Amino acid sequence: MIVVFGSINIDLVTRATKIPGPGETVAGPIYEKIPGGKGANQALAARRAGADVVLVGAVGADDFATHALSLLKADGVDLHHVATVDQATGAAFITVDPQGENAIVVAAGANDYAQARQLADVAIDDKTVLLLQREVPDAEGEAAARLAKSKGARVILNLAPAGAISESYLRLLDVLIMNEHEAVSLAAALGLPADVRSDPESVARTIDQTYGVPCVVTLGANGAVGWTGGVCRAADAIKVKVVDTTAAGDTFAGAFAAALERGAHFSLALQYGIVAGGLACTKQGAQTSVPYARDIESVVQERLKEDFIPGTATPSP
Ligand code: RIB
């Protein structure tokens, strides 16, 4: 089972000819209300990748909450541990440009009131993977990690959005996942040497070797690298026509966690993550773009066949 402790948002999404700079207004034709939030997106990604998933978080007593939880409910994510609090449901204001890149402002609302103690009644054991992000308070994330570790669970943190976490939190992790910007920002906060800070792959190696925490860095069109036990693994990105990159990182994290939870080794989990994240870029929106296991699986199997016989895509008889 995967337990996700994290944010639940409604995304208000506009496609515009460009992402506005400071003081600038840009016209967009329409906006859409799409279920989002890094925690909720990762829960759905893990679920659609085939895992049993419990989502723990907080929403407001408003119409946004119903919409924000609708796809999770439809796909069978356990929502019994989502609290309703006296705050507005979290909302994200997203602009997507013609290249599919986005800019996001998140209003935390109810997410700031999610508490680790909500995990007290969740059946966590040594088969559980706890998946965390940074859109609920870090202190609560760390407390959730501590609770899960005390029950023998594995803990994965996706360090998004970018920022520093305490060394005590870092050392609780079984895997840390970041994108290249998040890696650079964590490296600065940890005071890593300048030559390491400027290179996301070196940051991943240092987190693995210095802190003993396996670390994955996603590199957009350049795929992903992961360091575990002093060994580097890499996965190439899949080639897709990018429509919208929103939630690609969340989809990577959810599919990676689902693969690890069902017993895949680290480098195979990287493949599942990178394929799922790539497929998420081909559709508009956060949860509306999350792929299902059958679509992920067919691409992963094709890749494995190609890897089996280097230099050719055709298996030998
Ligand atoms: O990672 C994408 C997500 O970030 C969006 O769904 C938005 O809600 C913000 O949390």
pLDDT digits (tens, 9 = 90+) for 246-296: 999 999 999 999 999 999 999 999 999 999 999 999 999 999 999 999 999
Whether the model pTM is above 0.75: yes
With the most atoms of ligand 1 within 8 angstroms of its CB, the residue from 250, 252, 288 to mutate is 250
Mean pLDDT across 36-58: 98
Q: Round the average pLDDT of the chain to a whole number and report it.
A: 95
> Ligand 1 center to residue 37 CA distance, Å?
4
* Architecture label for domain 2-16+32-306: 3-Layer(aba) Sandwich (3.40)
Cα–Cα distances (Å) from 70 to 24, 64, 106, 108, in that order, read 34, 10, 20, 19
Q: Is the pLDDT of residue 23 over 80?
A: yes
Ligand 1 contact, 202 CB (< 6 A): no
Mean pLDDT across 20-49: 96
Q: Sorting pLDDT into bands at 50, 70 and 90, what band is 160?
A: very high
With the most atoms of ligand 1 within 8 angstroms of its CB, the residue from 95, 135, 251 to mutate is 135
pLDDT at 311: 43
Mean pLDDT across 235-252: 96
Mean pLDDT across 148-166: 97
pLDDT at 306: 81
Q: Sorting pLDDT into bands at 50, 70 and 90, what band is 308?
A: low
pLDDT at 305: 87
Mean pLDDT across 68-81: 98
Of 56, 87, 50, the closest CA to residue 69 belongs to 56
**Residue 198 DSSP class:** T
Contact (CB, 8 A) for 179 and 217: yes
**85-98 pLDDT, tens digit each:** 999 999 999 999 99
In terms of C-beta density within 10 A (0-12 exposed, 13-18 middle, 19 or more buried), how is residue 211 classed? Answer: middle
Q: Is the pLDDT of residue 313 over 60?
A: no
Cα–Cα distances (Å) from 184 to 134, 189, 220, in that order, read 16, 9, 15
Q: Is the pLDDT of residue 317 over 50?
A: no
Domain segments of the chain as ranges: 2-16+32-306
Tokens of 69: 């939880």
Can 75 be counted among the known catalytic residues?
no
3-state secondary structure 118-132: HHHHCCCCCCCEEEE
Mean pLDDT across 212-238: 96
Percent of the residues in the chain that have a pLDDT greater than 70, as a whole number: 97
Q: Is the pLDDT of residue 230 over 90?
A: yes
Tokens of 24: 């600038």
Contact (CB, 8 A) for 217 and 201: yes
Percent of the residues in the chain that have a pLDDT greater than 90, as a whole number: 94
Q: Is the pLDDT of residue 73 over 80?
A: yes
Catalytic residue among 78, 174, 208, 250: 250
Ligand 1 contact, 203 CB (< 6 A): no
Mean pLDDT across 14-42: 95
Ligand 1 contact, 45 CB (< 6 A): no
Instruction: Determine the atom of ligand 1 nearest the C-alpha atom of 40.
Output: 6
Residue nearest to atom 6 of ligand 1 (CA): 36
Cα–Cα distances (Å) from 120 to 56, 59, 115, in that order, read 11, 18, 10
